[in-house]
């Protein structure tokens, strides 16, 4: 039988949110120190660097930002010459965001910083615990997508 939660801090979702807020605070400082980027700019850069050319809506989804945050993040990166916007060759009304050569260099810095924070946080788990945690999160994300009508 599952426990009955009587306080907010007993809910797993609250604990996950707290963990992510703490992580975001630490990694945002790392991105600022390493590449002079905000958290939103870093997420946009990481999404484009990982996935390639992205539309604004794809960018927001992959960067885990709302559309206005993703757009502002991309604007900041465009002004610094790290990404560029170009018309989508398949849809003349749409725009794709891609990395510039300098953006590729900074993307590597951002990914290295993210990897270091990831390793630092998860080094407390054994390999078996990590595999179990990843499997459970994947299962919960799939269910969450289903509940949102995306699955």
> What does the alpha-carbon distance between residue 110 and residue 98 come to, in Å, rounded to a whole number?
16
Domain assignment present for 2: no
Q: In this predicted structure, what is the pLDDT of residue 16?
A: 93
Angle between helices 12-35 and 39-51 (to 10 degrees): 90
Comparing 4 with 23, which gets the higher pLDDT? 23
**CA dihedral angle for residue 118, residue 122, residue 123, residue 127, rounded to 10 degrees:** -120
Domain assignment present for 95: yes
Domain assignment present for 3: no
Domain assignment present for 73: yes
Kindly state the tokens that stand for 49. Answer: 């660097």
Q: How confident is the model at residue 150 (pLDDT cuts 50, 70, 90)?
A: low
Q: Which of 116, 38, 125 is nearest to 80 (CA)?
A: 38
Q: In this predicted structure, what is the pLDDT of residue 77?
A: 97
pTM of the model: 0.82
Domain assignment present for 1: no
Domain of 105: which CATH number?
1.10.10.10
The number of distinct structural domains making up the chain is 1
> What does the alpha-carbon distance between residue 16 and residue 147 come to, in Å, rounded to a whole number?
18
For the stretch 60-109, pLDDT in tens is 999 999 999 999 999 999 999 999 998 877 777 788 999 999 999 999 99
Q: In this predicted structure, what is the pLDDT of residue 136?
A: 96
Q: Give the domain extent around 130.
A: 8-149
Domain assignment present for 113: yes
Q: How confident is the model at residue 5 (pLDDT cuts 50, 70, 90)?
A: confident
> What does the alpha-carbon distance between residue 91 and residue 61 come to, in Å, rounded to a whole number?
19
**Cβ-proximal residues to 60 (8 Å cutoff; 6+ apart), any chain:** 66, 67, 69, 70, 71
Domain assignment present for 131: yes
């Amino acid at each position: 039988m599952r426990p009955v939660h009587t306080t907010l801090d007993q809910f797993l979702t609250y604990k996950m949110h707290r963990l992510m807020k703490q992580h975001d605070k630490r990694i945002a400082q790392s991105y600022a120190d390493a590449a002079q980027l905000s958290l939103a700019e870093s997420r946009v850069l990481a999404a484009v660097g990982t996935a390639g050319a992205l539309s604004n809506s794809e960018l927001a989804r992959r960067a885990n930002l709302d559309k206005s945050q993703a757009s502002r993040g991309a604007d900041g990166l465009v002004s610094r010459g790290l990404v560029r916007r170009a018309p989508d060759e398949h849809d003349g009304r749409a725009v794709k965001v891609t990395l510039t050569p300098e953006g590729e260099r900074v993307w590597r810095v951002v990914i290295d910083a993210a990897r270091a924070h990831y390793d630092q946080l998860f080094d407390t788990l054994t390999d078996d615990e990590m595999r179990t945690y990843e499997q459970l999160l994947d299962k919960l994300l799939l269910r969450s997508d289903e509940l949102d009508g995306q699955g």
